[in-house]
Structure 1
Amino acid sequence: MTAAVIPPATATAATAAKPAHRDPNVLRWLGAYTSSMVGDSVYYIALSWAAVQGGSPAQAGAVMAVSALPRAVLMLFGGVIADRLGPRRVVIASDAVRCAAVLAVAALLFLSSPGLWPLTALALIFGTVDAVFMPAVGALPARVTSRDQLARVQGLRGLAIRVASILGAPLGGLGVAVGGAAAAFGLAGLLIAVSVPLLMSLRVRKIPAGDRAAGATPWQDLRAGLGHIRRHRVLAPLMLAIALGDLGFVSPLNVGLTLLADQRGWGAAGVGWVLAGFGTGAGAVSLLLTVRGRLPRAGLVAGYAILAGSVAIGSLAFVPSLAGAVGVALLIGLLAGLSGAMCSALLQTQADPAYLGRVTAVAGLISLGLTPLSMPFTAAAIGAFGPGPVYVVSAAVCALGGIVALAVPGLRRAELPR
């Protein structure tokens, strides 16, 4: 089945009559995205279980880390591919490749015990495909709805991520319990496969090709995308605010939380409760955005939310009880969810649609490629100085992101379209 391509005016008229959460076209996109994300969660459970069962802890860690390198190295060019070929086509091809690779490994594990090499190959394929999949996923919403509905779509996307995190781990564990890693990989492949026909049925808007010169090389396209960000009065400071906010947020809520729970004696269950509090707060904000659709003064809201969230992050290390930590995590989820949704919506609406794949790739590289590099340093610093000082420094870095958002007039005054 081929997608219907409709001009911008027709798309706007069609979507203006109903909000995004009632638009069948957007709901098909949401179903595809949710199914793919749940499949991803099941895949990571299956991969980690199979790697642990097939090798030493060090070997299992290496298998899990293999996908990070190609994703980080290739993601910027993934944005170029998404803009050149169209995000819908790239997402369909990516999900098809990921589905085929996962099902092939499932069949191999079912028939034999091949060791770690197929898991390593699968992780490498996933990382390579993710480099083009993630920018295309970020650019696709602008093709399936009008600009005034993109904030609501970010709310729907946030809800899909929460659903994937809630359902993915239990489904992956169930697959492993019933039929081992082979069954879990098979389930992941089927869930990813569900997204393909839904994506093929999408109606997408045709957008201008931008200023790409005929015969331009990928390097020239990449430089043009980076230049678009650098010259933009909102996108340039927005990327800096995202980088600083993520740098101060990711480590304390990942490796830092594990070490903090160990020192407090909360155990793995305590980590789960704190993360559940965070997820609940972030999910509530996603639901609010889905229903409301737009918040005024988005740049100002994002800046103040980042600042307030940084205070909450810093205070997490000084809360003695698990119940208090869960409450603080709920607040962090609310504030981080709000700032993240505003930043994502501004990125979607401020970027020229012809550059959106490349813009999304830069944001993705910051969040998924560069920011996680801070985790080993955070762990070492907590071991040397304790959680309190490290959380305070992380909060200060996060706060710098809010200061940037409030100090730069273009970003502070940025609004979402009505």
Structure 2
Amino acid sequence: MHSYLGDLGLLRDRRFALLLTARTISMLGSSFAPVALAFGVLGLPGATASTLSVVLTAEALPMLVFMLVGGVIADRLPRQRVMMAGEFLMAAGWFALAVMMLTGWTPLPALSAAAALAGISTAITFPALTGIIPEIVPTDRLQTGNALLALGANASRVLGAVLGGGTVVLFGGGWALMASGAMFAVAGLLIAQLRLKPGERPRGEAHSMLADLRDGWREFRSRQWIWVVVAQFSLMVMAIQAGHGVLGPLLAKETLGGPLAWSAFLTGEAVGTIAGVLVSLRLRPRRPVLVAVLLCFPAALPYVLLGFDAPIWAIVAGAFVLGVSFDVFGVLWQTTMQREIPAESLSRVSSYDVLGSMMFGPIGLLLAAPAATFFGTEESLLGCAVIVVLSTLAALLSPGVRNLRAPRLQTADLK
């Protein structure tokens, strides 16, 4: 029997509550960043969509390059310390961007370098986060723990999308970026208070980094459901990076009214992710990866609506549907990985997951501006929708995706 009240009982665990608070504050900082950075860069003298593409690519590429290193580090060292270092690095990157915006000294190489520091910090933090959750949350409550962490993150996205857009309009992108940096610093301080028992910390053996990477790759490629979905997401993320990172803000600036309209889009998506948490807390499918992949189809909806010049309320509604679908996908995916992958390899496999999923993201960012120029912004957004649909159909051809069954403890009926 699953109940919402029983789910909330996990909050009585001090370590989980501390992790949840830190992650929620960190995500609040992250939610300020997209609107602040996009419209801060676009508002610079002489800036174009290509300028924004370069800065966003400078953030995305180092994240990919260092992701595998982050996975090895998180499997070798106490994950709490790795996460703490990542949050402080993130704070440094956004503080640097904020100072440049506020002082007016904004050479493109310097903006790109600060964005790259933020990307490196993400590569350090994410594999450690995936691995630390099973160290804190009992196996039979993993999906609940992932859902509650998602609830905190999604609530931060809602609040951050609203406050971020308002802060940009009222005070400018520099102050919004400064607020982001402060939140990352607070998250790092909270993570520093998290203490795991010695026996719960990962015990790395004296292997070379290459040997550790080979072991992680062996775990990754031995499971068809992982590498098929990662291949699917490599194409989906390329489309989503182009649509969310460049084409969407560009269309908002051209025809929808600017940063407030795009903030409304992001808010609709964020509210959808909160509604998705309520679904993911109850949903216990027998085939979790199959259900997760099917939930990727709605990711095309917002781009179709944007491409056909739908009214803003319909576009925001499409973003809401996207948010619901992606939140349930994320909880099912994270829980399945944490149950199926050995704990000593989980961060490395997670890093291969993120690296593979994100590897074409910079291509999407780089191609977005030329595509908007040659084909039109609306047409390019429709192209993003086509990529999402075709990649999802291809993933459904995999037997591993269709047939992987959850353990018995995950298959309770909805109550």
**Category of TM-score, reference length = shorter chain:** 0.7 to 0.9
Q: Which of 78, 81, 86 is equivalent to 2:78?
A: 86
**Cα separation, 2, equivalents of 1:176 and 1:24:** 36
Percent identity between matched residues is 25
Q: What runs of 5+ residues in structure 2 fail to find an aligned partner?
A: 1-5, 411-415
Q: Which amino acid in 1 is paired with 2:267?
A: A
**Residue 343 of structure 2 corresponds to residue 353 of structure 1:** yes
Q: Report 1:19-34 matches (<5 A).
A: 19-34=9-24
In the TM superposition, residue 78 of structure 1 has moved relative to its aligned partner by 1.2
In the TM superposition, residue 123 of structure 1 has moved relative to its aligned partner by 2.7
Q: Which amino acid in 1 is paired with 2:146?
A: Q
Contact kept in structure 1, 2:79 and 2:128, CA below 8 Å: yes
TM-score w.r.t. structure 1 length? 0.76
In the TM superposition, residue 252 of structure 1 has moved relative to its aligned partner by 4.6
**Cα separation, 2, equivalents of 1:391 and 1:67:** 21
Q: Which amino acid in 2 is paired with 1:148?
A: D
In the TM superposition, residue 115 of structure 1 has moved relative to its aligned partner by 5.2
Contact kept in structure 2, 1:348 and 1:356, CA below 8 Å: yes
Cα gap change, 1:153/1:131 in structure 2, threshold over 3 Å: closer, same or farther?
same
Cα shift readout 1:106-130 (whole Å, capped 9, x = no counterpart)? 78988x7765476554333323332
In the TM superposition, residue 243 of structure 1 has moved relative to its aligned partner by 3.5
Q: Which of 137, 151, 172 is equivalent to 1:159?
A: 151
Contact kept in structure 2, 1:251 and 1:375, CA below 8 Å: yes
Cα gap change, 1:259/1:287 in structure 2, threshold over 3 Å: closer, same or farther?
same
User: Secondary structure of 1:165's partner?
Assistant: helix
**Cα separation, 2, equivalents of 1:179 and 1:259:** 21
In the TM superposition, residue 328 of structure 1 has moved relative to its aligned partner by 3.4
Q: Report 1:2-401 matches (<5 A).
A: 19-42=9-32, 56-57=46-47, 61=52, 62-99=54-91, 116=107, 119-169=111-161, 171=163, 184=176, 186-204=178-196, 206-207=199-200, 214=206, 216-247=207-238, 249-252=240-243, 255-257=246-248, 265-268=255-258, 270-290=261-281, 292=282, 294-306=284-296, 308-309=297-298, 312=301, 316=305, 317=307, 320-377=310-367, 380=370, 383-384=374-375, 386=379, 390-391=383-384, 393-400=386-393
Cα gap change, 1:171/1:295 in structure 2, threshold over 3 Å: closer, same or farther?
same
Q: What runs of 5+ residues in structure 1 fail to find an aligned partner?
A: 1-15
User: Secondary structure of 1:57's partner?
Assistant: coil
Cα gap change, 1:54/1:258 in structure 2, threshold over 3 Å: closer, same or farther?
closer
**Cα separation, 1, equivalents of 2:98 and 2:331:** 36
**Cα separation, 2, equivalents of 1:138 and 1:348:** 8
User: Secondary structure of 1:140's partner?
Assistant: helix
Contact kept in structure 1, 2:127 and 2:347, CA below 8 Å: yes
**Cα separation, 1, equivalents of 2:7 and 2:371:** 54
Contact kept in structure 1, 2:59 and 2:118, CA below 8 Å: yes
User: Secondary structure of 2:295's partner?
Assistant: helix
Cα gap change, 1:80/1:404 in structure 2, threshold over 3 Å: closer, same or farther?
farther
Cα gap change, 1:106/1:240 in structure 2, threshold over 3 Å: closer, same or farther?
closer
User: Secondary structure of 1:66's partner?
Assistant: helix
Q: Which amino acid in 1 is paired with 2:274?
A: G
Higher Cα Rg: structure 1 or 2? 1
